[in-house]
Amino acid sequence: MILKRGTIVSRQDILWTCIWVGGLIVLGIWDGLFLNSPAFVMVQTAFRNTVLACTFVLLLSLLFGWASGIALHFLETNNRPLYLLTTFALNVLRSVPQIIGTLIGYVILTFFLGRGILNSQTSQLAWMSLVIALVVFQEVTDLVRERIAHYSKLEFFHAMLSCGIKEHRIINREILWKNSRAHLLNKLVSIFATAIFLQCSIDFIVSVGLSTDVSLSNFPVTLGSLLAKLDSKQDILAIGTILKDITSIRSLFFEHLQGISTACIIVFSLFCLYKISQGLARHYRL
Amino acid sequence: MKSRLLEHALSIVLVTLFFSVLIIFMRGKEADIQADRTAAIAPYLELDFIDFGNPLHRAQFAEALDVFYPDRRAGNDSLIQSIESFRQEQFTSEEYKTGGEKRGLSSGKALQLIGMFAQFCLVYLIVMVLSHRASTGLAIIRFVNMRAARPSALAQIILHARGSRPRGSSWYLTLLFLLLKSFGVFLGYAVLFAPAYVIAYSIRSGFDTDSYLFMVILGVISNGLLITRASRFSAFLTAESRKGYVQTSIVKNLDASYQWGKGIPYKAVVEPTKVLSSHVFRHIYRNARHQYLPSLKEHASFLITGLIIIEMALNIQGHLGYELLQNILYRQYDVAVAIIVGIFLIVKATDMVIDAWVLREAARYENK
């Protein structure tokens, strides 16, 4: 085996986090050297906005997922009709494909913008994050419920109840915080990747085909909307030319940097997040 | 099974009912909006001394409005804009053309949507089957390679670089081969993780990206769908292989060799059940698959998301996703809602089929 225990190489999650950050820094330096400064600023802003929005999605998903998971657990034992009703509503929400849910959120956002509500870019990003969180948070709910169900069968759970420790304390502290952090972390990494994918896709779609009444300049720049700009699309189209003329590959790294960098950040981030998630699963044997 | 079916049926009925009411409400609202809009501009359109097609008249009208209503300049601008839009519609609206359709959800539109819906279902079914088979195959390859302790492409390069001295031409040739292999793996990962629109735009200049074949290929390989599903199934296989019964079976002399072509035949990638029953993998696979099947629901939902993204982002005309986007753009929300109901029904139908499949498998699993 070439992977020695105790080294950074054996911790694939840490290794790939370093590769991700390192790769983005290298790309940033390259862009700083060869990309024109207005475009470079735009790429930086888009990246910052995307990361900010996706972090917000992460926090909201954790909050909603944790709260709904625990609420469902207590409802199941204390109020069966309400439990069935809530589960039914959540299942209906689950049956709406994520992109449709996000698209509906955007339609509502344009409605708000048309009436002068949510005018600041931060509030728009927050709204987008809330919408994405609403379509992905059930993954956390499922995980929370699965962990509670698993530990509820074990003796320590009943022993602690017999000792007079309150159930919500056992669930929140002993089960979820002490014994499920790795699972939650792994789930949050995959939610972060899903959020990047959904946000970029919806912004790309919206920038390409929606919103004639509300000027696109109102929306905060994200990686998806930057990729949808004409310059970026032409840069991506240039990749196709290397299939006909391999010598044109050089131009991709110097002349078509805006689109290539944006696409690279998206694909590279998704790949690294996948590897981080796999590394976590392997390390903690999830 | 009955309770699951009942829940699905109830959700279909309730959601369809809710959206039907929404469609009726929106159609009424649409008529009201049209009437309000026409009522607001009608007095100005009746002024026969103003020709709104004449730029001079338009400019004079705008100035006159600003003189009469100096404190609502934005309102004046939007009034002129409304008149302009109304006039444009007289020439561009489908409604006024011979054989053109009415705005909103007419019977003609509904028929058109049914056609698109059928096309979408067909593509979805093909992509669903292909991606399921492909992800299962990929997961098996990963699992077998992992069990055989086969190093990754990158690890092979490191091992080779640390290897034999002196280094002859064969050493350099092997290194070149390994580097090319690593590059291929990297390129493969880049394609698998790239959103569909990135792949499509990058090869658009060389291929027809609007064909069904291209859409199916893109649906299977892009958006990280294939790799995440393969990873999921691979995790189930790994978890199953750690269970006690597997160790017991190995001790009791079941074949546990993970060499390609010897212990595991190559055809196992396509037909995993064809592995000999004396090999432990066959049992690992069957038990892992039983646990994996319910997660196909998530796969279906994510697959539909991927297909809609492809249709919308690539502006493939005449497809359901494109139609949905266009109807949102032109604020024909009743049509958009009808499309969303259709998509919801596809998801629900898939859920029902998967639930039935899981229960059937469970009955076999539990020897019922």
A88's tokens? 């039914």
Chain B 285-304, CB below 8 Å of chain A: which residues?
301-302, 304
Task: Report in angstroms the alpha-carbon separations of A80 from A68, A71, A92.
Answer: 15, 12, 18
Q: Does B240 touch chain A (CB under 8 A)?
A: no
B117 and B70 co-located in one domain: no
B83 and B116 co-located in one domain: no
Compute the half-sphere exposure of residue B168: CA atoms within 13 Å on the CB side of its CA. 1
Domain final position from B48, B78, B97: B97
pLDDT score recorded for residue A194 = 93
B59 and B186 co-located in one domain: no
Question: Is A239 in contact with B302 (Cβ distance < 8 A)?
Answer: no
Q: Taking residues A15-26, what's their average pLDDT?
A: 94
DSSP class of residue B264 equals: B
pLDDT score recorded for residue A270 = 94
Polymer length of chain B:
368
Mutate to test the interface with B, among A270, A276, A284, A285 (most CBs of B within 10 A): A270
Banded model confidence at residue A218, pLDDT cuts 50, 70, 90: low
Residue A63: Cβ within 10 Å count: 13
Q: Which residues pair with B260 in a beta bridge?
A: B264
Q: Is residue B102 part of a domain?
A: no
A102's tokens? 């996000």
Which residues on chain B are in Cβ contact (under 8 Å) with A91? 7, 11
A17's tokens? 């986090």
Domain final position from B71, B97, B123: B97
**Is B255 in a helix, a strand, or coil?**
strand
Q: Is residue A3 part of a domain?
A: no
B81 and B112 co-located in one domain: no
B314 and B225 co-located in one domain: yes
Residue A6: Cβ within 10 Å count: 7
Which residues on chain A are in Cβ contact (under 8 Å) with B296? none
Nearest CA in chain A to B14: A92
Q: Does A98 touch chain B (CB under 8 A)?
A: yes
Q: Is residue A5 part of a domain?
A: no
Mutate to test the interface with A, among B135, B227, B309, B343 (most CBs of A within 10 A): B309
Q: Which residues pair with B255 in a beta bridge?
A: B279
pLDDT score recorded for residue A231 = 87
Q: Does B260 touch chain A (CB under 8 A)?
A: no
Write down the mean pLDDT value for chain A. 87
Compute the half-sphere exposure of residue B325: CA atoms within 13 Å on the CB side of its CA. 27
Of B189, B228, B325, the CB nearest to A209: B325
Question: Is A243 in contact with B305 (Cβ distance < 8 A)?
Answer: no
Nearest CA in chain A to B150: A1
Q: How many helices (H) and strands (E) does chain A have?
A: 14, 0
**Is A228 in a helix, a strand, or coil?**
coil
Per-residue pLDDT of chain B (368 residues; tens, 9 = 90+): 777 788 888 888 888 888 888 878 777 776 676 677 677 788 888 888 888 888 888 888 888 888 888 877 767 777 787 788 777 777 766 555 555 556 677 888 888 899 999 999 999 999 999 999 999 999 999 999 888 888 877 778 888 887 766 677 888 888 899 899 888 988 898 899 999 888 888 887 666 666 888 889 989 998 888 999 999 999 899 989 988 998 898 888 888 888 888 878 888 888 887 777 788 888 899 889 988 998 898 889 889 999 998 888 888 888 888 888 888 887 788 888 889 999 999 999 999 999 998 888 888 877 76
B134 and B53 co-located in one domain: no
| Residues whose CB falls within 8 Å of the CB of residue A261, separated by 6 or more in sequence, listed in order | A27, A31, A35, A43
Number of domains in chain B: 2
Q: Is residue A7 part of a domain?
A: no
**Is B279 in a helix, a strand, or coil?**
strand
Q: Does A6 touch chain B (CB under 8 A)?
A: no
pLDDT score recorded for residue A43 = 94
Of A98, A193, A271, the CB nearest to B305: A98
**Spatial CA neighbour of B188 closest among B234, B134, B248, B146:** B134
Q: Is residue A98 part of a domain?
A: yes
B56 and B128 co-located in one domain: no
Domain final position from B97, B121, B141: B97
pLDDT score recorded for residue A2 = 47
Q: Is residue A1 part of a domain?
A: no
Which residues on chain A are in Cβ contact (under 8 Å) with B206? 240, 243-244
pLDDT score recorded for residue B35 = 72
Which residues on chain A are in Cβ contact (under 8 Å) with B308? 97, 99-100
For position A85, which CATH number holds? 1.10.3720.10
Check: CB of residue A250 under 8 Å from CB of residue A30.
no
| Residues whose CB falls within 8 Å of the CB of residue B112, separated by 6 or more in sequence, listed in order | none
* Residue that wins the pLDDT comparison between A164 and B35: A164
Q: Which residues pair with B279 in a beta bridge?
A: B255
What CA–CA distance (Å, rounded) separates A34 from A224?
Answer: 22
Of B197, B205, B340, the CB nearest to A240: B205
Task: Report in angstroms the alpha-carbon separations of B10 from A20, B7, B17, B294, B296.
Answer: 46, 5, 10, 20, 21
B326 and B182 co-located in one domain: yes
Q: Is residue A93 part of a domain?
A: yes
What CA–CA distance (Å, rounded) separates A79 from B97?
Answer: 59
* Residue that wins the pLDDT comparison between B254 and A212: B254
Q: Does B202 touch chain A (CB under 8 A)?
A: yes
Q: Is residue A76 part of a domain?
A: yes
Compute the half-sphere exposure of residue B154: CA atoms within 13 Å on the CB side of its CA. 5
Mutate to test the interface with A, among B197, B214, B218, B340 (most CBs of A within 10 A): B197
Task: Report in angstroms the alpha-carbon separations of A136 from A90, A140, A190, B289.
Answer: 11, 8, 10, 25
What CA–CA distance (Å, rounded) separates A11 from A15?
Answer: 6
Question: Is B329 in contact with A281 (Cβ distance < 8 A)?
Answer: no
What CA–CA distance (Å, rounded) separates B204 from A25?
Answer: 30
B39 and B178 co-located in one domain: no
Q: Which domain holds residue B77?
A: 2-97
Q: Does B217 touch chain A (CB under 8 A)?
A: no
| Residues whose CB falls within 8 Å of the CB of residue A8, separated by 6 or more in sequence, listed in order | A14, A15, A18
Burial of A201 (0-12, 13-18, 19+ CB in 10 A): buried
B93 and B116 co-located in one domain: no
Q: Which domain holds residue A262?
A: 12-284
**Spatial CA neighbour of B235 closest among B140, B152, B153:** B140
Q: Does B309 touch chain A (CB under 8 A)?
A: yes
Which residues on chain B are in Cβ contact (under 8 Å) with A260? none
Q: Is residue A23 part of a domain?
A: yes
Mapped to the 3 state alphabet, what secondary structure does chain A carry? CCCCCCCCCCCHHHHHHHHHHHHHHHHHHHHHHHCCHHHHHHHHHHHHHHHHHHHHHHHHHHHHHHHHHHHHHHHHHHCHHHHHHHHHHHHHHHCCCHHHHHHHHHHHHHHHHHCCCCCCHHHHHHHHHHHHHHHHCHHHHHHHHHHHHHHHCCHHHHHHHHCCCCHHHHHHHHHHHHHCHHHHHHHHHHHHHHHHHHHHHHHHHHHHHCCCCCCHHHCCCCHHHHHCCHHHHHHHHHHHHHHHCHHHHHHHHHCCHHHHHHHHHHHHHHHHHHHHHHHHHHHCCC
What CA–CA distance (Å, rounded) separates A143 from A125?
Answer: 27
* Residue that wins the pLDDT comparison between A60 and B29: A60
Nearest CA in chain A to B344: A96
B149's tokens? 């302790």
Number of domains in chain A: 1
Q: Does B178 touch chain A (CB under 8 A)?
A: no
The tens digit of pLDDT for each residue in A108-133 reads 888 887 777 777 888 989 999 999 99
